[in-house]
Amino acid sequence: MIMIVKQIYADNPLRNFHYLIACPKTKEAMVIDPLDVERCLYAANKEGYKITIILNTHEHYDHIGGNEEMAHKTGAKILCHAGAMDKIMNVEKGLKAGDKIQVGSSVTFKTLDTPGHTNSHICILSEGEKPALFCGDTLFNAGAGNCHNGGNMDDLFDTFSNQLTSLPDDTLIYPGHDYMVNNLEFSLNREPDNEIAKKYLQKLENQNPHHAHITSIKDEKEINSFFRLRSQTIITRLKENFPEMSSKPSNKEVFKALRMLRNNW
């Protein structure tokens, strides 16, 4: 049976996405990073879902700020990365790589330990007919998370190269924020001959984030600079910004240079 996914846009300056994931059999639901509690509860009540789990991908305020109110109003249990339990209040269980999350009777997820944006960040991967990754601030549509507040670029590169690149091509991507248009503009600044990214930007530059386009890993490998580390165009243009770059830079060197440029984009 296919899980039910509701993407909820917060309409705030940080452009947060929340997610409501429901079991169609039991109507039990999990909410991910519920900052805007009222929007999440409205979506759940409208469909008759009972929120039993609150999942935090990481400890930043815009991903945990609604925990207390949501838990009080629903009785839901809070789950997060085991390493973030000292930063997030009233956690029922800390999760480690490989841990399973059960929603109702028919929806299961596998926990991925995905450091980089913060040291204690998880993504969750659905286990069912159609793989889906709920990736917080690790992976964005056409982009990658920053490392400003408790993160590390080497760790983020390892997460991309050791985990995300090996996901099935049809894995759907559900990030923590709507940054896709800005990320596509960055991708085209770095790789102006990327015709696929051009078409995406033309199609989505005026999209309504309440009905946001959902990408797949296959799409990301075509439009996301952080997956396109061997693109000769990207490497050539990076050498203009970083003349000290190696003549044949490693994937990590390219990734970190892209991330540094994106910090000021």
Could you tell me whether strands 139-140 and 132-136 are parallel, antiparallel, or unpaired per DSSP bridges? unpaired
Task: For residue range 63-96, list pLDDT tens digits in order.
Answer: 999 999 999 999 999 999 999 999 999 999 999 9
Task: For residue range 104-159, list pLDDT tens digits in order.
Answer: 999 999 999 999 999 999 999 999 778 999 999 999 999 999 999 989 999 999 99
Q: Is the pTM of this model over 0.85?
A: yes
Torsion on CA atoms 105, 69, 211, 171, rounded to nearest 10: -40
- Backbone φ, ψ for residue 112 (5° rounding): -110, 130
Q: Binning pLDDT at 50, 70 and 90, where does residue 230 land?
A: very high
Query: CA-CA distance, 87 to 167, in Å (whole number)?
Result: 30
Write down the pLDDT at residue 2: 83
Write down the pLDDT at residue 135: 98
Residue 31 scores a pLDDT above 70: yes
Task: For residue range 6-30, list pLDDT tens digits in order.
Answer: 999 999 999 999 999 999 999 999 9
Angle at 219 between CA 214 and CA 221, to 5 degrees: 135
> What number is the average pLDDT over the span 168-186?
97
Computed from CA positions of residues 196, 198, 199, 201, in that sequence, does the dihedral angle turn out positive or negative?
positive
In the chain, the domains with their CATH numbers are: 4-263 (3.60.15.10)
> What number is the average pLDDT over the span 189-197?
98
Average pLDDT, the chain: 96
Residues with active-site annotation = 58, 60, 62-63, 117, 137, 177
Residue 204 scores a pLDDT above 80: yes
Residue 212 scores a pLDDT above 80: yes
Write down the pLDDT at residue 1: 55
Q: Is 209 helix (H, G, I), strand (E, B) or coil?
A: helix
Percent of the chain whose predicted confidence (pLDDT) is above 90? 96
